[in-house]
Each structure stands twice: as structure tokens, then as C-alpha cells.
Amino acid sequence: METKIAVLASGTGSNFSALVNGDTGPGRVDILLTDNENAGALKLASELGVDSRYLYPGKYRTKFGTKEEEYWAEFLLNRGIQLVCLAGLMRIIKGPLLDAFHGRIMNIHPSLLPAFPGLDAQGQAFRYGVKIAGCTVHYVDGGTDTGPIILQESVPVLDSDQRDSLAARILLKEHEIYSKAVKAHCQGRAVYSEVVR
């Protein structure tokens, strides 16, 4: 049976596009939601023929207002969404959305978590001087880039790399593993289980 997916993005939307075009098994991207009226992802959605919507996120910069987060959750539930994929959403999900979709929200992050959570993970890894960078798809648990890991892939750091060349290669890997992780979830091969710390 088909799994209805909503992708939540604030920016360019290349991972959104990869999920629309990739092999996600029984998963199908039903809608793109954004908190940014100028998100490139909105233009991509119309080019890809995917329904899209800007929803007001509230007055804060890095989280939702409580009322607004309730509205987003209600919107997704009413639409019959079964899986929420964050793809560059620049906000923490904590309350109503997490409660409504616990174990059914995924995120993609451009580092081998738990190393380098937060902003500019690729720059953090590059400046630290790691020799192996990478990306992670994980379930969301209310922290910043924490939660049970579903898939990871490594990307070697080359002697010739700068931050941006490394980030570009990581992004290509992100596109590959996001679809794979979504497919695994939709086929029941990935399930949420609390991280033991």
C-alpha cells in the first residue's frame, strides 16, 4: 500500500527533488510544505508537478510558535500524511508535530552523526580535518540532529577539497541515501527505536 509523504523544506530543495524522483518504494511525495515563501523548493515543486504550500511558522526564527506547530500538524493529519521528511527545514520540531508523527519524522543531515550536529556540518567537519565525512538519515526525536539512525554513508575528504567541494559531494550522497531510507521505512524495514545513551 502507498505511503503518503510530506516533505518539509526551507531552502533549495535538492533533497526534496531527489525524493520525488528517487526509488522510495511504496512511498510517494504528496506535498511540499515550506516555512519560507522564497524557498527554491517551491519553484522545484511546481516544475515537478508536486502540490506545495507555504504555511506561516510563527514569529520565531528557529522553532515554530505553538499555535502554528499545531496548525502544521493538523494540516498534515487532515491530508492523510503518514511520513514526514525534513529536507533542510531550518526549525526544530518539538511539540505538536512530534507528538502527532512520533516515529514517523525523518531528517537528513550532512555529517556522520553524532559528530557535527547543527549548522554548517560540512564546514565543521572540514575545519576539524576529518578524513572521512558523510551524511545521515535519522528519525527525529526533539533534539538537534539527534534520534535513531536509519542510514549513513561515508564520503572521503580529498587533499584537494575545500569546504564547498566536500559539501557538494556529500550532497550527492544525501540524495542517494534519503530515498533508500524512505523506502526502508515504507517497507517496514526501518522502525523507530530509542537511542541508548
Binding string to ligand GRF for residues 138 to 177, with x set by CB under 6 A, is what?
A: ---------------------------------x--x---
Shortest Cβ distance from residue 109 to ligand GRF (Å)? 5
Confirm if 72 and 79 have CB atoms less than 8 A apart. Answer: no
Residue nearest to ligand GRF (CB): 88
- CA angle (197, 15, 46) in 5-degree steps: 140
For residue 180, state whether it binds ligand GRF (rule: CB under 6 A): no
User: Segment 86-115, which members bind ligand GRF (CB under 6 A)?
Assistant: 87-88, 108-110
Q: Which is nearer to ligand GRF, 11 or 142 (CB)?
A: 11
List active site positions: 109
What cell does 21 get?
A: 524522483
Q: State the residue for C-alpha cell 556529500.
A: 170
Shortest Cβ distance from residue 159 to ligand GRF (Å)? 23
What cell does 127 get?
A: 575545519
Shortest Cβ distance from residue 11 to ligand GRF (Å)? 4
For residue 27, state whether it binds ligand GRF (rule: CB under 6 A): no
Confirm if 178 and 87 have CB atoms less than 8 A apart. Answer: yes
- Report CA 6 to chain centroid distance, whole Å: 10
For residue 11, state whether it binds ligand GRF (rule: CB under 6 A): yes
What cell does 25 get?
A: 518504494
Contacts of 22 (CB under 8 A, 6+ apart): 175, 176, 178, 179, 182
Q: Which residues bind ligand GRF (CB under 6 A)?
A: 9, 11-15, 87-88, 108-110, 171, 174
